[in-house]
Chain A
């Protein structure tokens, strides 16, 4: 998660997070494919105008999703409930209602993906954690603990890959999958636990107590444009949701 230097990335992360989550909750309450589509388009427009997305970036991120979209649409259309049967074959039963629902849910998930991307592609992880401390009153102990822990994602990924290769070269085949899970999980966890202990000791040895009375290099604040963005996003989404049906 890195910021991309767009206007959206200059906003306060907590404010942006909450605004986007609220729009996602709004999406959950809507069962009309047209409104859902419009809310999704709103996210795309914001992404292109304020979020610094290029069309090629958008396509690259959303194209893999289309397959998933088709799958969800098919599952709901073929296995959903409804009265007006359009087409029936074997245990597949497509009705008008289930088609409609499939379209709504597929578009809703697309909306979730896009609003999520709008947040993750424009927010820096450290800035988010600092903002969580100052705006949402998260304890510094947890914020810095998480920052330390999240640094290990790439390390664990390469360790897992290494273990997989080591097993492969010795002719190990995954016979059943939960045993394979335990086989990779155990070394990963033992290493992780040892590392976590060392990190915690290192943090405390440098005087980190995790209390709120500490100094900060950067103190994020809420400014006027944060309020304006959150308010106009919610207003626009609300207008689409309530005015469009008329």
Chain B
């Protein structure tokens, strides 16, 4: 695993930007969860795992998804959130889930399908953490599967699909030209996909 310095810094900075957005998303989440209840607010879960698919899709290296999510979770710790170390642990579980999606394809396939799969698996990872640490297993069985289903759907849509939309929009601006995502496109000979730098 040979990371270039610019890839290292890009991973951390994108994760930090995601972490800052997560904080804003949390303030949005509280009024909604008060309105429709915590299970219904699970639909908003997907945003919290978006760092993994975004960074993995751009950098395309083993470990990118895991590191991105852990670094994004660290933002919560560094800004003095209440859930300091537990946020970091959740980040590890979600990141591992997201990482598996790319690992099973040998880090060769990066398309909308693997991104959505990584969103779904990150949701499973998050549920696994909640099962171990936050007593999700103590809920009634139907509550458990309802929560799992909602989180997975949200992970697929808000995590995977939205990540794809955002990265494609970023690619059009040209800022991603020096990174792996555009390099592999140039190699495939899709010149129209490469935007010129303004």
A residues adjacent to B (C-beta < 8 A): 1, 20-21, 24, 28, 61, 64-65, 68, 71-72, 75-76, 79-81, 97-98, 101-102, 104-105, 108-109, 112-113, 115-117, 119-120, 125, 141-142, 145-146, 148-150, 152-153, 156-157, 160, 177-178, 181-182, 184-186, 188-190, 192-197, 199-201, 203-204, 208, 210
Of A79, A141, A142, which is within 8 A of B139 by CB? A79
Q: Are A182 and B165 in contact (CB under 8 A)?
A: yes
- Chain B's closest residue to A197 (CB) is B6
Q: Are B162 and A181 in contact (CB under 8 A)?
A: yes
Q: List 26 A-B contacts (CB under 8 A).
A: A20-B85, A68-B82, A80-B138, A81-B140, A81-B141, A108-B134, A116-B84, A119-B84, A120-B84, A120-B85, A142-B8, A145-B12, A146-B12, A149-B15, A149-B71, A150-B16, A153-B75, A153-B79, A178-B47, A178-B158, A181-B25, A185-B17, A185-B21, A186-B170, A189-B166, A210-B8
Q: Which of B148-198 contact A (CB under 8 A)?
A: 158, 162, 165-166, 169-170, 173, 175-176, 178
Please tell me if B3 contacts chain A, counting CB pairs below 8 Å.
yes
Q: Which of B112-136 contact A (CB under 8 A)?
A: 132-135
20 more CB-based (< 8 A) A-B contacts, given A1-B77, A181-B21: A28-B133, A71-B38, A81-B139, A113-B84, A116-B85, A120-B77, A141-B5, A141-B8, A149-B15, A149-B16, A149-B71, A150-B75, A153-B75, A156-B16, A156-B17, A196-B13, A197-B6, A199-B13, A203-B5, A203-B9
A204 neighbours in B (Cβ, 8 Å): 5
A-B CB pair tally, cutoff 8 Å: 184
A119 neighbours in B (Cβ, 8 Å): 84-85
The secondary structure that dominates the B interface is helix
B106 neighbours in A (Cβ, 8 Å): none
- Chain B's closest residue to A105 (CB) is B135
